[in-house]
């Protein structure tokens, strides 16, 4: 693996996202807190948008604070993202295009 010229914060975020267990999801705020700044949710989102290691970083496991799927520059957009989460075993709220963060939120190890 090559060393992409990314800032340490980005690397930290990617590491955290990569460590999210299957069937669970994490919020941007949670990742930001683990990265060292609980209010850097926006920066975390930017890291996902940059996503230099798309297949390596399960950015689809990262959702908003209320479980809403946001962003996803990949193919299919939110639709594809929700589909992947369902395939991973993440519970979704009925009638809403959001994940059941109440049950699927990552413990943060």
Partner DNA sequence: AAACTGACTTCTC
Partner DNA sequence: GGAGAAGCCAGTT
Q: Is 9 in the site for DNA (CB under 7 A)?
A: yes
Q: Of 26, 33, 59, 63, which one is the catalytic site residue?
A: 59
Sequence-ordered list of residues with C-beta below 8 angstroms from that of 27, at least 6 positions apart, any chain: 41, 62, 63, 64, 65, 101, 105
Q: Are 54 and 29 in contact (CB under 8 A)?
A: no
φ, ψ for residue 105 (rounded to 5)? -65, 130
Tell which positions 27-66 bind DNA, by CB under 7 A.
Answer: 27-29, 36-37, 39-51, 59-60, 62, 64-66
Binders of DNA in range 77-106 (CB under 7 A):
none
Report, as residue numbers or ranges, the catalytic residues.
59
Contacting positions for DNA (CB under 7 A):
7-10, 27-29, 36-37, 39-51, 59-60, 62, 64-66, 70-74
């Amino acid at each position: 693996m090559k060393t992409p010229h990314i800032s340490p914060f980005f690397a930290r975020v990617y590491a955290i996202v990569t460590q999210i267990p299957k069937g669970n999801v994490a919020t941007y705020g949670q990742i930001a807190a683990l990265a060292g700044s609980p209010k850097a949710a926006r920066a975390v989102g930017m890291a996902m948008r940059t996503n230099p290691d798309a297949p390596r970083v399960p950015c689809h496991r990262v959702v908003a604070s209320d479980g809403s799927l946001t962003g996803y520059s990949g193919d299919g957009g939110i639709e594809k993202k929700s589909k992947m989460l369902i395939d991973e075993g993440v519970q979704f709220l009925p009638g809403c295009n959001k994940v059941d963060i109440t049950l699927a939120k990552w413990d943060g190890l």
